[in-house]
Amino acid sequence: MPGSLGLKLLQAVVLLGVMAWTVIAVADGIRQQQQHAAFPTASKGVDPGVRVLIVNRDPPLAQTSFADVVLFAAQPVEVLTPDEPTPDRRLTLRAGARLRALPDLVDGLILNAPEWGRDVRWPVTRVWIRPLLATGQTVPAGPPMRGVPLSDPRRGEAADAGPVVTLFQRNDPRSYRGTIEIRLNDARSVLVINHLPIEAYAEGVTACEMAPSWPLEALKAQAVISRSVARAKVAEAARTPNQPYDLMDGLYDQDYRGAGRHGLLVSRAVAETRGVVTVVKGGSLFQPLFCAASGGWTASSDAVQPGQKDISGAVLLAATVMRPSRDPASEAGARALGDLSTHHRSEVQIKAETIRRGLARLLRPRGIEIGWIRDIRVVERERSSGRALRVRINQLPGDPIELSANEFRLAITDERGRIPIRSTLWSEDSPKRIPDSQGRNDFAFTCFGLGHGAGLSQVSAWWLAREGKTARDILERFYGGEQLRLVPAW
C-alpha cells in the first residue's frame, strides 16, 4: 500500500510538471506570436538597395578616399565597368585572387591581378566587382528587387548571399556582400562604395551597433532603426544630382563593417522586421536618431540636427517623435552591463591646445581662425534636462565663437582619433577651466551618457528588452508613442 501511494504521488508530480510545462510553452508561443504580429508584413514595395561609402581607416584620421585599394575575392567575381559595357571591358577572378586598383591621371583606373599577369588600364571612372555564378551570369539570389534593373549593382548579391570581397585596413579584414564599386575620385585617389540590398545592410549594421548576443527584441528595434536610416538616406541622396553614395560606414551615419559579424539572433531580428520602417503620424518616413546611452535624459533632435523633419519636409521631428524625455533605463542598463564609467558618468580633462587643434580642423575650411582659448562657456541648455545646446569659445585674439555643443564635442579628438567628450549632457559646472602654473588652461567635463543622446538609447533598449518589453514597446518609448507609425516599405 505505501508503495502504491508513493507511485500515485510520483505520477501526480509528473502530471503537474507536464501541465506546467505545457502552460509555459503555450504562453511563450502566444507571446512570440504577439511579438511577431506587432510588425505589419504586407507590402508591394521594393527594397531599393543602398550605396555605402567605405571609409579609409589606415591614416591616423579616417579619410573618405584611398590612394589605392587592395582586396581579395571571396568567391568567383567579374570585374567590369558601366562606363563602357563591352566584352573587352570585362574580366573575371577566381576565389582567393588578389586585385589592386589605383588612379592614374592619364589612364583613369589601373587594375592589377597576378592572375591576369599584366596591368589593365581602362580609361574609365569606375569599375564594379560583383559575384559571378557558375552559369557566368550575375543575377540576384535573394528576395526579388522588383523594378530594379538587372544591370544595377545593387542586384549583385551572390547565390549564397555571402561575402564577395575582403578589404584589409589596419590589419582589420572586412568582408562585403553585394557589389563593390571603385570610383575615380581625383588623379590621386579613389572611392570605394558597397552596393547591396538594404536588408543585407541592416543585418551588418545591427551586428555592429549592438552586441549580437543582446535580447532579440532590442535587436529587432535596432534593425528597424538601421533600415529606416538607410531608406531615408537613399531618399535624401536621390535629390542630389550625381551623388555617388547614400551614406558612410562610420560615425556620422551608422557603424557598418560589412558581412559575417552577425549571429542567428541578428538574422532573426532582421527577418522578423523585414521592410518595416519608421513613419511619423501625419507625415512620412523619417531618419530616427539613436545613441549608445542617453545618460538619463534623451535629447531633442534639434540638439543634434536643428530643424530636422521627415523626408517630405512636412513634420518637425523635435515636436513629435524626438522630444526630450526622462530615461531611467539608461542608468539601469549601464549598471547591469557593468558600463557605468563608460556609458553613464565619465570625467575627462582636456588641454586647451587639443581643443584648439580640433576646432581649427573644423573652422579653417569656413575661413575662421582660432587663437588662444581663454574660456569655454555653455550659453544655452535644454530646459528640461539641462543638456548643453550651444557653447561660446572666448579666444585671444579674435571674437568669441559660438557652436552647437554636439558640433563642438565631435570636433575634439585625441591623438588616436577618439572623441574624449562622451556626451553633451554635462554637469552644471562643465566645462570647468583649470589653469596651470604657466598660464595654460585645461578644461574638465563631467558627462552623462554616451553619444548625442537623441532617439533610442541602446543600453536602455537592452534593459527594457530584459524586462520583457517588445521591440514595438521600445520604439514607441523613444519615438513619440502615438506619433510613431511602423510601416512595411517592402
b or e along 8-27 (b: 16 or more beta carbons within 10 Å of the residue's beta carbon)?
Answer: eeeeeeeeeeeeeeeeeeee
d(CA 9, CA 12): 5
Q: pTM for this structure?
A: 0.86
Single-letter amino acid code for the residue at 333 = G
**pLDDT (tens digit per residue) in 236-275:** 999 998 899 999 998 679 999 998 777 899 999 999 999 9
b or e along 478-488 (b: 16 or more beta carbons within 10 Å of the residue's beta carbon)?
Answer: bbbeebbbbbb
Per-residue pLDDT 10s for the chain (490 aa) are 455 655 555 555 556 554 555 444 444 444 444 444 467 665 667 888 999 999 887 666 678 889 999 999 999 999 999 888 888 899 999 999 999 999 988 888 999 999 999 999 999 999 999 988 633 444 444 444 444 455 566 656 787 888 999 998 777 889 999 999 999 998 899 999 999 999 999 999 999 999 999 999 999 999 999 999 999 999 999 999 889 999 999 867 999 999 877 789 999 999 999 999 999 998 899 999 999 999 999 999 999 999 999 999 999 999 999 999 999 999 999 999 999 999 999 999 999 999 999 999 999 999 999 999 999 999 999 999 999 999 999 999 989 999 999 999 999 998 877 899 999 999 999 999 998 777 788 999 999 999 999 999 999 999 999 999 999 999 999 999 899 999 999 9
Alpha helices in 288-419 (DSSP H): 329-337, 352-363, 405-411
CB count in 10 Å sphere of residue 438: 5
CA 405 from centre of chain: 22
Q: Where are the domains of the chain?
A: 50-269
Tell which phi-psi region holds residue 448, choosing left (phi > 0), alpha (psi between -120 and 50) or beta: beta
